[in-house]
Amino acid sequence: MTNIRKIHLRVILDSRGNPTIEADITTDHGYGRFAAPSGAVTGMYEARVRDPVEALSYGREHVIPRLIGEDSLDQIGIDALLHDIDGSSDFATIGTNLAITLSLANATAAAASTGVPLYQHIGGLFIAGPPLPLAHVLGGGVSTHMETGIKEFLVVPVGAPSVTEGVFANAQVHHAIGSLLAAEGIFCGKGDEGAWSAQVTDTKALEIVSSAAAEVSDDCGFGIDIGIDVAAGEIYDPETKMYCSRQGDRSPEEQLAYISELVRDYHLVYVEDPLFEDDYELTAELTAKVGGFCLVCGDDLFATNTSRIRQGIQAGSANCVSIKPNQVGTLTDTFESVKLARSHGLETVMSHRSGETTDTTIAHLATAFESVFLKTGAAGGERIAKLNELIRIEEEME
């Protein structure tokens, strides 16, 4: 039997040293665990997060008793029940952090109860294999108080013959960037996602990442391309309608031209949130211009939310959707977003959050949903936990 027998909630540490909620779910024949990640640069359309200690006591009193005895194999039913208990449209009552923790701990318990890996339990028998890793290797933006106006500089080993080789190539690029920064005497630290963080301009950052990627590409014998997460909502001032960073102030049209130029000059294959999250129109213009060879991805733009993705599809805003399960709160909601995107020809990128735990579930979800990339850092315990799981999944599926 796969009925839920026991649920235990606890508060644990996340990678920033903040409390986060973790759930253990036990059925008659299996056991599953998940812990909630958390964003720092959270889009305004994400579901609501509750204080973990409050969410835990609310969960023990009002949520767990309703889930005990339910069939863990009925994921859609469990997720519908979570919505029903919550009663709001954005998990304001129980918190998206509690909802996603219970939803994904349940999926993990269900997979264990039936004796199949999580990616197979969710994705079925004929999934292609794990996705390539998209790694955040150099960061800046407002979140680290560093110079760059762009939040993240990313690499993706597009030519890698295997995911495992790609994972190692990204780590090598991460090392090479550290060496290049040191060789130039540029003082650097590391951000929340393990990426280097330095006082450099956007173009200097792109030059460093390009040289590091080229160096490693020569060494590995396959192509490594570059991407950015602009997180433009962070630098947009709705009053003046200007994008303002230490890299200068730009009107929306200037921002569009700036990003288009970067895509052309650095052969970017991935651009996330190039404009602030309500600018469907200019994001569509960028996609029309560069979408043939570059993935224009909505993270804050869509917030993994089907009504926002639908709006984006109508406007032609992007050709890729960032998928962060805790932005919506359940596995079913996550699946609905993936299904909607894929049915309209948009790619998906499964993504970590800046605050993470050593949980590996998103590696399975990225595989099950056939995401084009899994976005994480390249180094650091909570990031490598996911990357090493990709390696294991690839090995298992060979």
Active site residue 386: no
Full strand arrangement of the beta sheet holding 19-27 = 4-13, 19-27, 31-35
Is residue 39 involved in binding ligand PGA (CB under 6 A)?
Answer: yes
The values of phi and psi at residue 116, to 5°, are: -120, 155
Which residue of this chain has its Cβ atom nearest to ligand PGA in the complex?
A: 39
Site for ligand PGA (CB under 6 A): which residue of 147, 299, 382, 394? 299
Q: Identify the active-site residue in 151, 324, 375, 386.
A: 324
Part of the chain binding ligand PGA (CB under 6 A), chosen from 6-14, 106-114, 339-347, 351-359? 351-359
Site for ligand PGA (CB under 6 A): which residue of 113, 304, 354, 367? 354
Site pattern 173..212 for ligand PGA (x: CB under 6 A):
----------------------------------------
Encoded tokens for 282: 């200019």
Which residue is listed with tokens 């650095």? 266
The three-state secondary structure class of 393 is helix
Amino acid at 79: D
Is residue 192 involved in binding Zn ion (CB under 5 A)?
Answer: no
Part of the chain binding Zn ion (CB under 5 A), chosen from 73-81, 96-104, 167-175, 229-237? 229-237
Cα distances (angstroms) measured from residue 123 to each of 62, 107, 135, 228, 373: 31, 12, 24, 29, 16
Closest distance of CB 43 from Zn ion, Å:
8
Other CB atoms within 10 Å distance of the CB of residue 19: 15
The values of phi and psi at residue 14, to 5°, are: -105, 180
The values of phi and psi at residue 280, to 5°, are: -65, -35
Residue 286 and residue 271 in contact, taking contact as beta carbons nearer than 8 Å: yes
Measured from the CB atom, the residue of 157 and 191 that comes closer to ligand PGA is 191
Residues in the chain: 398
Site for ligand PGA (CB under 6 A): which residue of 79, 86, 202, 229? 229
The three-state secondary structure class of 367 is helix
Part of the chain binding ligand PGA (CB under 6 A), chosen from 20-28, 212-220, 242-250, 350-358? 350-358
Q: What is the DSSP annotation of 273-326?
A: --S-TT-HHHHHHHHHHHTTTSEEEESTTTTT-HHHHHHHHHHT--SEEEE-GG
The three-state secondary structure class of 53 is helix
Of the chain, the end-to-end C-alpha distance in Å amounts to: 31
Is residue 234 involved in binding Zn ion (CB under 5 A)?
Answer: no
Active site residue 193: yes
Identify what 357 binds: Zn ion, ligand PGA, none; CB under 5 to 8 Å per kind. none
Amino acid at 319: N
Measured from the CB atom, the residue of 44 and 244 that comes closer to ligand PGA is 44
Measured from the CB atom, the residue of 299 and 333 that comes closer to ligand PGA is 299
Site for ligand PGA (CB under 6 A): which residue of 73, 195, 231, 321? 231
Measured from the CB atom, the residue of 157 and 298 that comes closer to ligand PGA is 298
Is residue 389 involved in binding Zn ion (CB under 5 A)?
Answer: no
- Site residues (vs ligand PGA, CB under 6 A): 39-42, 229, 231, 299, 351, 353-354
- Site residues (vs Zn ion, CB under 5 A): 229, 272, 299
- Give the residue numbers marked as catalytic: 193, 324
